[in-house]
């Protein structure tokens, strides 16, 4: 189910509520993060391709809290700094201190080692841009544009609203330029350049993190949050009970049918 459909169902069940679409999308985003973190638990892999005497800094998207384990290579030249680390082993996070793997926020590992980390939920990009932009027949120029290629947006300017506008490209700014350029498919009669105030809003195209019939839990979750902040605790308890039932059923279904994750948490024992 698309998150747009979730909000449509919520508003159909509880019309004229005072909560904004942005707040409802935030609740959907919170639930998506919980599902990703507590049920799906999908792992990614990052290979260290160089050696630094001070240790290797991990990319910004991998924090120490997300690391599950590391795998060391079986072959290769190891410096004196890594001779104490066993070769061809999966080392769980609890053993990092034993081998002095994590020091001063850096990984003390030889090249070829692989970091296994828990991937994070991709947040809902519920974006609205308001401000003055430069325009030309080719597109708009702004500093740090919030949109990316492939986004579908609604643009309002000069009293006219253009819906379902496709963002074609977003060029990266060069060092000597202050602004990035973003180009859209827009049917408007412009032959000159200038400045205009616009309001641009991205159409939320993300889907729920779980398939039908479990995706209805999003509706119950949002309704429960609304009831809680309205101090309607009977309704909150009713919606929470429905949500918990769907969560438990989805968790059981996912664990039964999900593929084995190739992290250190998946181990085969007593086989013959």
Q: What is the pLDDT of residues 8-46, one digit of tens each?
A: 999 999 999 999 999 999 999 999 999 998 998 888 899
What letter would DSSP give residue 81? G
| Confidence (pTM) | 0.76
Q: Specify the pLDDT at position 260.
A: 57
The segments of the chain whose pLDDT lies below 70 read: 50-55, 76-83, 104, 138, 143-144, 171-183, 185-189, 259-272
Q: Specify the pLDDT at position 236.
A: 96
∠ Cα 199 209 69 (to 5°) = 110
Domain ranges of the chain: 1-42+206-267, 53-105, 127-203
Enumerate the β-bridge partners of residue 134.
141, 195
Nearest to 190 by CA among 255, 132, 138: 138
Enumerate the β-bridge partners of residue 201.
128, 154
Q: Specify the pLDDT at position 11.
A: 96
Nearest to 142 by CA among 154, 158, 130: 130
DSSP string, 1-16: -BHHHHHHHHHHHSTT
* Whole-angstrom distance, CA of residue 59 vs CA of residue 77: 24
What's the fold here for domain 127-203? Elongation Factor Tu (Ef-tu); domain 3 (2.40.30)
């Amino acid at each position: 189910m698309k998150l747009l459909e979730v909000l449509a169902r919520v508003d159909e069940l509880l019309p004229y509520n005072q909560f904004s679409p942005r707040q409802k999308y935030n609740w959907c985003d919170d639930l998506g993060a919980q599902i990703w973190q507590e049920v799906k638990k999908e792992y990614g892999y990052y290979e260290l391709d160089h050696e630094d005497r001070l240790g290797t800094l991990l990319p910004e998207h991998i924090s120490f809290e997300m690391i599950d384990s590391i795998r060391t290579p079986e072959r290769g030249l190891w410096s004196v700094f890594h001779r104490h680390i066993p070769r061809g082993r999966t080392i769980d996070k609890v053993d990092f201190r034993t081998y002095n793997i994590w020091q001063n926020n850096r990984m003390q590992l030889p090249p070829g080692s692989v970091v296994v980390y828990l991937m994070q939920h991709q947040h809902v990009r519920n974006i609205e841009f308001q401000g003055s932009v430069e325009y030309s027949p080719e597109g708009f120029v702004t500093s740090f544009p919030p949109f990316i290629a492939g986004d579908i947006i609604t643009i309002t300017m000069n009293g006219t609203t253009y819906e379902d506008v496709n963002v074609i490209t977003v060029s990266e700014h060069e060092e000597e330029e202050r602004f990035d350029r973003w180009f859209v498919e827009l049917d408007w009669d412009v032959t000159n350049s200038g400045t205009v105030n616009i309001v641009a809003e991205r159409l939320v195209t993300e889907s729920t993190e779980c398939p039908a019939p479990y995706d209805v839990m999003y509706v119950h979750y949002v309704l429960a949050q609304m009831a809680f902040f309205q101090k309607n605790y009977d309704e909150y308890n009713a919606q929470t009970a429905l949500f918990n039932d769907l969560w438990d059923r989805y968790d059981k279904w996912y664990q039964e049918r999900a593929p084995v994750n190739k992290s250190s948490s998946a181990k085969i024992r007593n086989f013959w």
